[in-house]
Amino acid sequence: MNETPSVGNILILGAGQLGMQVIKNMASRVSPDTVCVLVEPGFTTSPGKYKAEATEELGKLRVEILPFDLSEGTEASLAELFAEFHTVICCTGFVAGAGTQMKITHAVLAAGVNRYFPWQFGVDYDIVGKGSGQPVFDEQYEVRKLLRSQETTEWVIVSTGMFTSFLFEPAFGVVDLETNTVRALGSWDTRVTVTTPEDIGRLTTEIYLEEPRISNEVVFVAGDTLSYGQLATIVEEGTGKAVTRVELSLEELNNQLSLYPDDVMLRYRTAFALGSGMWWEKSKTYNYEKGLETIDVKTWLNRHLRDKR
């Protein structure tokens, strides 16, 4: 194993919604000057509000910023960059396009990085396997196979379920607060695990610092695990209004997908309607075992509704 970089020399890929939470938590727990973040070229000079504020915050945290184009960069150029770091934590999501997570993982292994947290902040891809209807899930399964096929780089997978806010994303089509509609994916008994980026950032840092060190393991965390029926009740109680309940069966979603195979959100809805691999008991998670409180859906919704007032 490559022992040249100092322990704690960390590269975080991405400064988006999740990346910033990991960066803030990590920089508060380790020496900030050992934390670097990789962002797309032009990130620090972008006139966009989010990127401007993130750049300012990264400066205050004394985090070094490295520009790199993940979609255009080669595996070799990535490996050369990664070789300077002891740990790589990938928070880029799927925005860089299909194949990017495999390219990043190959580069991590080629660089001899000591420890790698891949972008697996999602569902249980071991159970989901391949053929879920969501191609990016297939790639995530292949990333796991690749990591398990080698013994040089230690890896840690943090399974979080979907972001809590995604349940309420209008484009996802599960909760529509404007029309007080809740749609069940598969059935009202189908369950889903969700966690906020804030909690993921905090828990990932705890898992990174855990002693004895966590190695070559899938670690499950959860803000909440609930059925779509329970979700509808929470929305009713939170808004004080009756909701319209619409059940989208797996058969119906598959029929829609056959007509619109390139609809990304429809692919997500169909995959989550499967149920298996999309949830786990909160009582069996790392945060529950350690007594670390997380934000459940009811708390998230109440805060969201309060902020909108």
Model pLDDT, residue 7: 47
Cα distance between residue 107 and residue 199, in whole Å: 28
Model pLDDT, residue 134: 77
User: How confident is the prediction along the chain (309 residues), in pLDDT tens digits per residue?
Assistant: 343 334 469 999 999 999 999 999 999 999 878 999 999 999 999 999 999 999 999 999 999 999 999 988 999 999 999 999 999 999 998 777 789 999 999 999 999 999 999 999 999 999 998 877 677 889 999 999 999 999 999 999 999 999 999 999 999 999 999 999 999 999 999 999 999 999 999 999 999 999 999 999 999 999 999 999 999 999 999 999 999 999 999 999 999 999 999 998 999 999 999 999 999 999 999 999 999 999 999 999 999 999 877
Model pLDDT, residue 1: 39
The b-or-e profile of 171-201 (16+ CB within 10 A means b, else e) is ebbbbbbeeebbbbbbbeebbbbbbbbbbbb
**What is the Cα Rg of the chain in Å?**
20
Residue-range domains of the chain with CATH: 10-161+196-220 (3.40.50.720), 164-192+224-278+295-308 (3.90.25)
Cβ burial of 101 (10 Å; 0-12, 13-18, 19+) is: buried
